[in-house]
Structure 1
Amino acid sequence: MELLLETVALYSLKLAYETEGHSPILRDDHLMADYEREVFGLLVRRGDVVGIKGKIQRCLGLALEAVGGVDTVLGNELQRLTAELHTAQTTEQFRAPLSALKDYLKDIQ
């Protein structure tokens, strides 16, 4: 679960901040400090669904802005996938929506 959360955060931040011709954003980049696997691991072990949603939502918000908002085709689909994440009540319920988000964010890179 922690790896999946970290990957969604990474792809979101790559979409928001990575620019052509510059160094790519990697997992050890300073932008990832609050979104490292260990940080998510602590939240998962605590069962902190609200904390996880808050962290991942900040990243997804940046990604949504990077694709032009909900009025674009990419943004509309990202918003739809993000909405599925909001209904999760336990950390296990995050798995399916996060997998869909990971795949989508990877595809639109």
Structure 2
Amino acid sequence: MEQHLETVALFSLKLAYESEGSSPILRDDLVMGDYQRDVFELLVRKEDVAAIKGKVAECVGLALEAIGGTGKPLGRELDRLSVDFSAALTLEQLDTPLVALKDYLKDIQ
């Protein structure tokens, strides 16, 4: 799960901050500091679902803004997937919407 969480953060931040001609954002970049796998690993170990959802919401919010918000088709789908993720109440319930969110962000890169 931690890897999927980090990947969602990475793809979201890529959408928000990468520009053509600049160097790509990588997992060890400073912008990823609060969203690295070890941070998520600690939250998962503590079963802090609220903090996990908060961190993902921050990243997805940046991505949503970068693709034009919910007024655009890509934004509407990203928002829908984000709502599905936010509705989860337990770690186990986070898994399926997390993978869907990760796959969608990967596809729209």
* TM-score in same-fold range (> 0.5): yes
TM-score normalised by the chain length of structure 2? 0.98
After superposing on structure 2, the runs of 4+ consecutive aligned residues of structure 1 that deviate more than 3 Å are none
TM-score normalised by the chain length of structure 1? 0.98
The AA in structure 2 aligned to 1:8 is V
Deviation (angstroms), 1:91: 1.1
The AA in structure 2 aligned to 1:93 is Q
* Identity value in percent: 65
Deviation (angstroms), 1:32: 0.3
For 1:86 and 1:15, the matched residues in 2 are separated by 20
Unaligned runs of 5+ in 1: none
The AA in structure 2 aligned to 1:82 is S
For 2:5 and 2:71, the matched residues in 1 are separated by 26
Unaligned runs of 5+ in 2: none
* Count of residue correspondences: 109
Deviation (angstroms), 1:17: 0.4
The AA in structure 2 aligned to 1:66 is A
For 2:85 and 2:101, the matched residues in 1 are separated by 9
- Which residue in 2 is equivalent to 1:47? 47
Residue-by-residue CA offset, 1:25-48 (whole Å, 9 max, x unaligned): 000000000000000000000000
CA RMSD of aligned residues (A): 0.5
